[in-house]
Amino acid sequence: MTRQDIKDALMQVVREYQMQEMLPQFESSQINVERSADPKFGDYATNIALKIAPQAKKPPQTVAEILTKRLKEKIRFAEIKIAPPGFINFYLLKEYLREQVEEVLEEGANFGSLDIGWSQKVQVEFISANPTGPLTLGNGRGGFFGDTLANVLKKAGFEVSRAYFINDAGYQVEILGHSILKDEQAQYRGKYIDDLRKQIESKLDLPPKELGRLAAVIIWNSLIRPTIEERMKINFDEWISEQEIRESDLPEKILEILKRKNLTYEKDGALWFKSTEFGDDKDRVLITSEKDGREQEATYVLPDAACHYKKFVINKFDRVVDIWGADHHGYVARLQAFGKALGVWDENNLKIIIIQLVRLFKGGEEVKMSKRAGTYITLDELLENVPLDVARFFFLMYSTDTHMDFNLDLARERSEKNPVYYVQYAHARISSILKKAAAEGAGFEESNKTFNLLKETSEMGLIKQLIRFPEIVEDTAKDYQMQRLPQYSLDLVRAFHKFYEQCRVISEDKEKTRARLSLVEATRVVLKSTLALMGISAPEKM
């Protein structure tokens, strides 16, 4: 990657300078090279001279001049300039940019593939909705985010597995049973509850817990899994049953470890975990007390801890990413407390991402949703009104830590006002250009012998967008900011449109035609790869 090449050279020069001046050595993470927001400050920039200056007891400008002189001996593909008060700016040379077109064409769909994952095993667990009702918009947001994250991690060189945790046991399943019975403890309402009651009418004499389990299986098989596999087009590698975890020996193993470490105690007839010793805001109950005729049973935290113990110790994942809904925010500290107590995981290898709420707007007004009141929009209903490609793009456009307003009117707009169609139309136009050229006997060149004809500012601007793709993959694999992908696709398409408006692709000049067709093909390759990461199709005609 261009940015990494600059950083490698910069690291070498900085360390040589620090050794020469007997200054403290910087860690690699302290040496940053960022893409410049303003082209007048180059394509990339670093503020390293400003960081070194206080140690060296020299003005930042002086340090920048020393570093720049040494960098020019190592970097041949960029012009280097200094900007006050000591920034070092890198301007990529046209010759270098032309070479990148050839690299894209040679690598094809592999362009942007990285090895930063070193084949580490990563599990991404997402959606994991309770089988107490159909999937909602929030589940869709987390689902498309998790699926895309898995794609990006794989592109970055990780060995990735997708997992779904089925909460088919515990209190919420019992409440589902009460809801079907429509007794005073009922909480879930809606047509699907009425339909379930009719389906299992002959079983209504079962205890609420057993009735709830039966209903949960029906909901899972008829409402949730078909939506995931047939509507969302997401394929999981593993379906993890909470009930199976509870029935295994893993919860007892967790209890044995905690007791051996003196991290449990009994109070009010219940067994507690000293989770406050590991950052939790209060201790947590592991085994409930016998109360109101109820038997003792494990709370949610114990099978969850057992499940994660299995992930790290038995399945040997190097990293696990859990994607949870906003209502699970308070659950993060207690699960991390278990990991620290067991000595198995912490914030470094268990990353928990909270997906904020989604609001649906139609005609400028919010469509109210409540699963328990029975007045809500299911994900199935959304996908009946909005194409899958549009839904995925829209959900990915927002950072997970912000609330999202889903504009149904814009999502149903079949024009370039709709951002996903704007991007897909560009891919279709590119495909049309290439087909037209082929029909006329023209084609692109994988050899760079004609690339020296690419000189225009818009041509260089488009190439600069193309070579951002590996950086987009790297940054997203590191910080999980999926909104970077749809934004990049829009940036790439804007650069292509600017090029297309200012440069005639097919002309009487055969050499220039081949050069520009090569650039068009390189754009097609990168745009298609970007859409593929998001799980969005790249149509050849629309």
Assess if residue 102 is contained within a domain. no
**At residue 284, what are phi and psi to the nearest 5 degrees?**
-120, 145
Alpha-helix residue ranges (DSSP H) falling in 343-407: 379-385, 388-396
> In the numeric block, which tokens belong to residue 414?
């079949």
* Residue 395 located in a structural domain: yes
* Cα–Cα distance, 68 to 254 (Å, whole number): 57
* 69 and 160 belong to one structural domain: no
Based on the fold, state whether residues 73 and 160 are members of the same structural domain. no
Domain membership of residue 513 (yes or no) is: yes
What pLDDT is recorded for position 375? 54
CATH number at residue 141: 3.40.50.620
37 plus 185 within the same structural domain: no
Q: In what order do the strands lie in the sheet with 319-325?
A: 238-241, 159-166, 121-125, 319-325, 350-355
Tell me what the pLDDT averaged over the chain comes to.
Answer: 94
Among residues 45, 68, 92, the one where a domain terminates is 92
- Return the pLDDT at 65: 97
Q: Look-up: residue for tokens 């490609």?
A: 389
Strands (E), 177-298: 238-241, 264-267, 270-273, 284-287
For the record, the structure tokens of 278 come out as 């590991």
How do strand 270-273 and strand 87-92 relate by DSSP bridges?
unpaired
Provide the pLDDT confidence category of residue 374 given band limits of 50, 70 and 90: low
CB 112 within 8 A of CB 469: yes
Total domains present in the chain: 3
pLDDT of residue 383: 95
Residue 406 sits in the same domain as residue 455: no
Q: What is the pLDDT of residues 316-333, one digit of tens each?
A: 999 999 999 998 999 999
Let me know: does 344 contact 392? Beta carbons within 8 Å.
no
* 408 and 422 within one domain: no
Same domain, 153 and 215: yes
Spatial CB neighbours of 418, under 8 Å, sequence gap ≥ 6: 390, 410, 411
User: Residues near 439 by Cβ (< 8 Å), separated by ≥ 6?
Assistant: none
Residue 46 has pLDDT above 60, yes or no: yes
Q: What is the pLDDT of residues 514-527, one digit of tens each?
A: 999 999 999 999 99
458 and 515 belong to one structural domain: yes
Q: What's the confidence (pLDDT) of residue 159?
A: 98
Q: Read off the pLDDT of each residue in 198-206 and give the average, rounded to a whole number.
A: 95
The mean pLDDT of 324-351, rounded to a whole number, is 96
The answer on pLDDT for 373 being more than 50 is no
What's the farthest any 2 CA atoms get from each other in the chain? 88
For residue range 22-32, list pLDDT tens digits in order: 999 988 888 99
Q: What is the pLDDT of residue 265?
A: 97
In this structure, how many other beta carbons lie within 10 angstroms of the beta carbon of residue 74? 13
Q: What percent of the chain is predicted at pLDDT more than 90?
A: 89
pLDDT on residue 445: 67
Q: Does residue 257 lie in a domain region?
A: no
Task: Report pLDDT digits (tens) over 298-314.
Answer: 999 999 999 999 999 99
What pLDDT digit, counting tens, does each position of 453-494 carry? 999 999 999 999 999 999 999 999 999 999 999 999 999 999
Give 403's contacts (C-beta < 8 A, 6+ positions apart).
356, 357, 358, 359
| CA atoms of 533 and 392, how far apart (whole Å) | 11
- Average pLDDT on 137-164 reads 97
Domain with 23, as residue range(s), is 2-92
- Which residue in this structure is represented by tokens 């799980």? 535
Tell which residue, 5, 82, 1, 94, has the closest CA to residue 48: 82
Contact indicator for 357, 395 with CB cutoff of 8 Å: no
Residues 141 and 192 in one domain: yes
Query: Which of the pair, 442 or 425, is modelled with greater confidence?
Result: 425
Average confidence (pLDDT) over 117-140: 95
The verdict on 371 and 473 lying in the same domain is: no
389 and 421 belong to one structural domain:
no
Instruction: Let me know if residue 348 belongs to a domain.
Output: no
In 104-153, beta strands by DSSP E: 121-125
- Please identify, among 70, 92, 114, the residue that sits at the C-terminal boundary of a domain: 92
- The encoded tokens of residue 24 equal 């403290």
For residue 337, pLDDT beyond 90: yes
Q: Given pLDDT bands bounded at 50, 70 and 90, which one contains residue 370?
A: low
Q: How large is the average pLDDT for residues 274-285?
A: 96
- The answer to whether the CB of 42 falls within 8 A of the CB of 81 is yes
15 domain residue, yes or no: yes
Looking at residue 499, which CATH number applies to its domain? 1.10.730.10
Residue 111: the pLDDT is 98
Q: How many residues does this entry show for the chain?
A: 542
pLDDT over 70, % of the chain: 97
* Contact (Cβ atoms closer than 8 angstroms) between residue 350 and residue 339: yes
Q: Are 117 and 157 in contact (CB under 8 A)?
A: yes
For the segment 116-137, the average pLDDT, to the nearest whole number, is 95
* Residue 77, pLDDT score: 94
CA distance 253 to 273: 14
Regarding whether 132 and 203 lie in a shared domain, the answer is: yes
CA 216 to chain CA mean position, Å = 29
Element (H, E) at 137: helix 137-155
Among residues 412, 434, 460, which one ends one of the domains? 412
Judged against a pLDDT cut of 80, whether residue 449 lies above it is answered with no
Q: Does pLDDT of 174 surpass 80?
A: yes
**Using omega within 30 degrees of 0 as the cis cutoff, is the peptide bond preceding 85 cis?**
yes
Q: Provide the CATH number for the domain around residue 87.
A: 3.30.1360.70
Whether residue 107 is contained in a domain is answered as no
Q: Which two tokens stand for residue 184?
A: 């005073």
Res. 372: pLDDT tops 50: no
> With 50 as the cut, is the pLDDT of residue 213 above it?
yes
Please enumerate in sequence order all residues whose Cβ is within 8 A of that of 213, keeping only pairs 6 or more positions apart, or say none: 168, 169, 173, 177, 243
Question: Are 8 and 146 members of one domain?
Answer: no
CA distances from 75 to 1, 6, 39, 534 (A): 13, 7, 19, 34
Q: Is residue 499 part of a domain?
A: yes
Confidence at residue 367, expressed as pLDDT on a 0 to 100 scale: 83
β 358-362/404-407 pair status = parallel
Across 53-78, average pLDDT: 95
